[in-house]
Copies of this chain bind each other. A is one copy, B any other.
Amino acid sequence: MKAFSRIVLMATSLLFISACGEKSETSQAQVKQQKFKWKLVTSWPKNFPGLGIAPEKFAQHVNKMSNGRLTIEVFGAGQLVPGFEVFDSVAEGTAEMGHSGAYYWKGKIPAASFFAAVPFGMNAVETNAWLHYGGGLELWQQLYKPFGIIPVAGGNSGAQFAGWFNKEINSVEDLQGLKMRIGGIGGEVMSRAGALPVNMPGGEIFPSLQSGALDASEWVGPYNDLAFGFYKAAKYYYSTAWQEPTATLEFLINEKAFNGLPSDLQEIVLVAARAVNDDMLSEYTARNSAALKTLVEEHGVEVKTFPPQVIEVLKNTTKVVIEEMAANDEQVNEVWTSYKRFYDSIKSYHEISEQAYLQNRQ
């Protein structure tokens, strides 16, 4: 049995190698004639820590691996198209690729939010497992297929902070009428809880907080929030993660452009994206803890947490909102069914493994 499977494997490898060999001849010929220059548009300021660095690294990897046969120019939000037009721009082919967050397209595709962040949902490691070993990515790709876009995972922020507030949140009453920048499903939850959520690109938050147009805003966490200088515009910093247990970012690829690449360049694009998916979470993890120290020690920021009553209300409201979304939209229902099944299983597994460990090591 063992010897037999070894032979089958060897035969398979040989087939694989010889198939590659044949393809090699053809593609090398094509390749010499054809160089590809792609544009990649993003929803972030050019070179913004974490979010903006990821697509730059992606482009560098692709350029190097392809030996300049596929060069990718990265544009910050507003340089080629506004931050919230990334999806349309990739769909139309104005840009061959984009880097963004799926919840920005919830007006067009309500189910998209589930591929970016689910309040009280899976963290970065769990979401990656669902996407790559739980059927999540296939559902995501089905969802964008009618728009001619192939989405792949494009990094994780890790658990995000609840955000910056100009007043203390001691009870649910303090949320009433609160003008807060918060998008995705979390925005809908905040709305049901009495706040007035607003969606705006990151670059516009600071002046809105400063002018009083916003009372509060979530963005990402210490690393990014320090970069935007929010501590100069808001008084309290709430660490409570609830709305985005991670943000999963996305690379958007125009399907026609992808299909026009030889298969080695296709693989280069997909593998570079996966490497960047790995890298971003490491960057956030390392930089967040350093940035929080700076915020507290150098800028005197007061870090607070929501009281349990507020967390309970947000958690229960999330359940109601998601169930309504699933009842009203077949795609949401399909995605949520897959998400929830995976989540239920991994949540109880992590309770006795990762979570128990974090408690034991204290």
- Cross-chain contact B161 with A239 (CB below 8 angstroms): no
From 67 to 105 in chain A, residues with beta carbon under 8 angstroms from any chain B beta carbon are: 67-69, 71, 73
In contact, A282 and B9 (Cβ under 8 angstroms): no
A133 and B285 in contact, given A67-B24, A358-B355 (Cβ under 8 angstroms) = yes
A353 touching B241, Cβ below 8 Å? yes
What 0/1 readout, one digit per residue, does chain A (53-65) give for beta carbons within 8 Å of chain B?
A: 0000000110111
Q: Which of A176-184, A209-217, A344-352 contacts B (4 or more CB under 8 A)?
A: A344-352
Report how many residues on chain A are interfacial, defined by Cβ distance under 8 Å: 93
Decide if A326 is an interface residue (CB 8 Å cutoff).
no
**CB-nearest residue of chain B relative to A122?**
B361
- Secondary structure call for the A interface: helix
Which residue numbers of A lie inside 8 Å of B, CB to CB? 6, 9, 13, 16-17, 20-21, 23-24, 27-28, 32, 46-47, 60-61, 63-69, 71, 73, 120-121, 123-126, 128-134, 158-159, 161, 221, 239-242, 245, 262-264, 267-268, 271-272, 274-275, 277-279, 281-283, 285-290, 292-293, 303, 305, 311, 315, 342, 345-362
Can you offer 14 A-B residue contacts whose CB atoms are under 8 A? A65-B267, A66-B264, A124-B125, A125-B158, A125-B281, A126-B285, A129-B286, A158-B353, A221-B353, A241-B353, A241-B357, A271-B272, A285-B346, A289-B346
